[in-house]
Structure 1
């Protein structure tokens, strides 16, 4: 059986960071019927000094939960099966949090984060009890996950990060958007009763159009754009390139696009995505309304041209679309850009 989905993934560490706190996974399950996507972003501050482990365990344990979810999805398609599957989707955050906390407890039993020496019991070293709430904070992480088939899309999220879909007609849409976070605060797997803080998106995919492309990313990517509309435009551009060039070509370039974004957000940037194996539009065919969509996006770009981070949106989007970036456009990244270079950049913005 041929896979119904193709997946890509990449991640880069933020500037001046020793290593990335993000973790990711993108894989095809269920004999090719389903795509499983996951990204997690460890908090990374001094209080969360083992959050790289927390993000890794979140992705690993979600993958195990999602595999079981896909197995249940294959069990049947009657009305009763769908009701049971919907209940399973609502329960999955509880499974995930429980498994994640067990991983923390096991690690703490062998390597206590407070630096205390292990007590020696009759069965070997022990840490002397379950972790307390403050211990879980050491491993704190956000999480975003999804399972998509040609009939169903389910997404789960706690904390920041982005879930984006791009439909057959090229229209991007943000799912599970809770609005801007307050400062650097975000909900986390390390919080008490974390499963109650999850947001869940359940969407049967019906109608004549094909399933959407699904993209999950950590907030280090979307923060590099001047406006969220620019980030959604980037998501649409990734799908356009997949349709036109194929996933293999996009996979080779994805890390480079994320690197450009990370230079502006300063944060780790991670993206995973799943695309239907046979896009309805056909490779290289943008469709009859491509010009109208381009005009609308161009208007958004011109409107945001004065924003100090607008160069990020243009740079990454231009890289996705294969548009060459001239020296004048590059000069707008630096305060010492000459007036002539700025004038050239503005002219390019008006005419593109």
Structure 2
């Protein structure tokens, strides 16, 4: 088995976004079950971020593959959606269509992920046996590949985000003083180790989503992480303080300086949680330049679909 996929992108062109990413394996583990991606889209006018956490137990012994495919399939679907978000821009008349398309995206990702699993398992069955022609679907145990998924599409006008299972997505208002973190997809404290997963029937029905337009100021900092990071803190406020600290350091020292230290921070976190730990983020580096007057009458508060 291979380890996690490398981040799908790096520094965005044209200086519009700075991207941050790192992943480390849990203490004592042979390899990480986490995967992540950070990709610039549409000549740097949008970014696609994603993290996925394979379940990793004995019953999920191919979940490193499941998390990798979750990242790849979300990125493939979200890239086209991001281009459409850029095209619509600040024209509020097009936002209804964007939200409808965003509601369809989780099902598209889940179907593509399932097809990847079935194709792989047909050729290399996790059961060790052989699939009969036309029977791969019935014979495949999807739980072997189980994974969570968090993804986001960020432009200079708005952010869309989705989450299935545990982990954290944090929006930090870059213009606010002090920086204020928001967790729009949080469902509260996790109860035990059970989590929603792509391996479940119709997982898109459990995927949480959020969208938020911005009409003034800079876009928020968007930070995604697997639960190995938040579990390393004594309480969730400690994790939010970490997210705020990353934002403040990026503002004061620059994103490259934070990137240089990020893996060390995650290594220390992994020693406390014992889990694989992955973190990605996007920071706007320039102010928006497009005329957004048509959007100024719209509410800026995020809306759940």
Identify the TM-score tier after normalising by the shorter chain: 0.7 to 0.9
Q: Is residue 242 of structure 1 aligned with residue 250 of structure 2?
A: yes
Question: Deviations for 1:111-169, whole angstroms, at most 9, x for unmatched residues?
Answer: 111100366xxxxxx5x413238611110000000011111011100000000111122
The answer (yes or no) to whether the contact 1:142–1:160 under 8 Å persists in 2 is yes
The answer (yes or no) to whether the contact 1:40–1:141 under 8 Å persists in 2 is yes
CA distance in 2 between counterparts of 1:223 and 1:95 reads 30
Alignment of 1:63-82 (within 5 A): 63-77=75-89, 78-82=91-95
Question: Deviations for 1:292-318, whole angstroms, at most 9, x for unmatched residues?
Answer: xxxxxxxxxxxxxxxxxxxxxxxxxxx
CA distance in 2 between counterparts of 1:55 and 1:220 reads 14
Instruction: State the partner residue of 1:212.
Output: 220
5+ residue gaps, structure 1: 120-125, 281-352
Alignment of 1:1-352 (within 5 A): 2-77=14-89, 78-117=91-130, 126=133, 128-132=134-138, 135-167=141-173, 168-169=175-176, 170-207=179-216, 209-278=217-286
**By percentage of residues, which structure has more helix?**
1
Shift of 1:279: 7.7
Structure with higher Rg: it is: 1
- The structure 1 segments of at least 4 consecutive aligned residues displaced by more than 6 Å after TM superposition are none
Instruction: State the partner residue of 1:312.
Output: none
The answer (yes or no) to whether the contact 1:6–1:28 under 8 Å persists in 2 is no
CA distance in 1 between counterparts of 2:93 and 2:220 reads 26
The one of the two structures with greater contact order (alpha-carbon pairs below 8 A, sep at least 6) is 2
The answer (yes or no) to whether the contact 1:3–1:31 under 8 Å persists in 2 is no
CA distance in 2 between counterparts of 1:132 and 1:183 reads 30
TM-score w.r.t. the length of structure 1 is 0.74
1:165 is paired with a residue of what secondary structure? strand
CA distance in 2 between counterparts of 1:3 and 1:32 reads 8
CA pair 33-137 structure 1, distance change in 2 beyond 3 A = same
1:19 is paired with a residue of what secondary structure? coil
1:179 is paired with a residue of what secondary structure? coil
Aligned-residue CA RMSD (Å) = 1.7
CA distance in 1 between counterparts of 2:142 and 2:166 reads 18
1:2 is paired with a residue of what secondary structure? helix
The answer (yes or no) to whether the contact 1:213–1:274 under 8 Å persists in 2 is yes
Instruction: State the partner residue of 1:318.
Output: none
The answer (yes or no) to whether the contact 1:151–1:206 under 8 Å persists in 2 is yes
The answer (yes or no) to whether the contact 2:24–2:267 under 8 Å persists in 1 is yes
Shift of 1:8: 0.8
Which stretch shows the higher mean deviation, 158-167 or 172-181?
A: 172-181
CA pair 56-27 structure 1, distance change in 2 beyond 3 A = same
Shift of 1:181: 2.2
5+ residue gaps, structure 2: 1-12, 289-305
CA distance in 2 between counterparts of 1:79 and 1:151 reads 10
CA distance in 2 between counterparts of 1:146 and 1:198 reads 13
The answer (yes or no) to whether the contact 2:225–2:278 under 8 Å persists in 1 is yes
